[in-house]
Amino acid sequence: MDETGRQQQLWDQWAPHYNDEHHGRDPGPAADFLASLAGAGGRALELAVGTGRIALPLADRGIPVTGIDVSPAMLDELHRHRGDRAVTTLIGDMADLDAGGERYELIYVAFSSFFFLMTQPRQAACLQQIAGMLAPGGRFVIEATIPRAPGLLAGRQQLAIRDLTDTHLSLSAIAHDPIAQTIHFQEIRFDQSGMRLLPVAMRYVHLSELDLLATAAGLHLTDRYADWHRAPLTATSTQHISVYTRTGATP
């Protein structure tokens, strides 16, 4: 099975549970941030749109969104909640984008989903295509974890308790390959109905590597923050929000 097929299989498995797993995450600040960049009349493309956790509230703010995802089951969940919002979807691979020649004022990928491209060449190909799909003055935004030690990258394998109650146990089993920069998770859930496994595979990218890949693709870093509220990035930040424009373009 190729990488795209494997990611589709993983996220089809997640689809029925994804919204419940992330119900505590407020998408409002992300939607506000992104709407401010898209501007009046702007259109957005979300990569790895999933169940529409951000796309739907962004559409509520007047920004039409096209979402691409490798998982038909995740998109089915999105359409269950879409209503009449201006969100359209495409099944596809982030590294092989085909939007029919469309250009977007905003392209974004959130929640470290860029890392689901499991090799550097595929990540580079994605960024190159993003650069070609940005409208003049358009922005590309990526939200992602900052790989750092001590923590996730400190060891090769870890088992962590995420939640423990009288009726529920959540575990994360993690295998880390520091040479390939890959992490494989198995999110394990036990409750009175039984057990389920929710797998994740990703290749993380350090900030310096991301900026080099972006520069090679014709993208220029314009802003970088620690969160959607535009807090300054510091040495202790655990995630980043990075904003790029096409090289030579006027924001």
Mean pLDDT of all residues belonging to the chain: 90
Residue 3 CB-density burial (10 A; 0-12 exposed, 13-18 middle, 19+ buried): middle
Query: Domain range for residue 184?
Result: 152-201
One domain, residues 118 and 166: no
Only one residue has tokens 């529409």, namely 52
One domain, residues 78 and 95: yes
One domain, residues 99 and 8: yes
Question: Is residue 33, in this structure, part of any structural domain at all?
Answer: yes
What confidence tens digit (pLDDT) does each residue in 112-164 have?
A: 999 999 999 999 999 999 999 999 999 999 999 998 754 555 557 778 888 88
Q: Report the SS3 class of residue 62.
A: coil
Question: Is residue 251, in this structure, part of any structural domain at all?
Answer: no
| Angle in degrees, 0-180, between the axes of helices 3-14 and 72-82, rounded to the nearest 10 | 40
Tell me how many domains the chain contains. 2
Q: Report d(CA 197, CA 16) in Å as an integer.
A: 12
What confidence tens digit (pLDDT) does each residue in 42-91 have?
A: 999 999 999 999 999 999 999 999 999 999 999 999 999 999 999 999 99
Question: Is residue 217, in this structure, part of any structural domain at all?
Answer: yes
CATH number for position 227 = 3.40.50.150
pLDDT of residue 151: 53
pLDDT of residue 230: 98
CATH number for position 196 = 2.20.25.570
Mean pLDDT, range 170-191, rounded to an integer: 89
One domain, residues 197 and 211: no
One domain, residues 179 and 97: no
One domain, residues 56 and 110: yes
One domain, residues 79 and 130: yes
Minimum mean pLDDT among 17-21, 36-40, 242-246: which range? 17-21
pLDDT of residue 154: 55
Question: Is residue 215, in this structure, part of any structural domain at all?
Answer: yes
One domain, residues 111 and 82: yes
One domain, residues 75 and 183: no
Q: Report d(CA 50, CA 106) in Å as an integer.
A: 18
One domain, residues 15 and 71: yes
Question: Is residue 123, in this structure, part of any structural domain at all?
Answer: yes
One domain, residues 242 and 210: yes
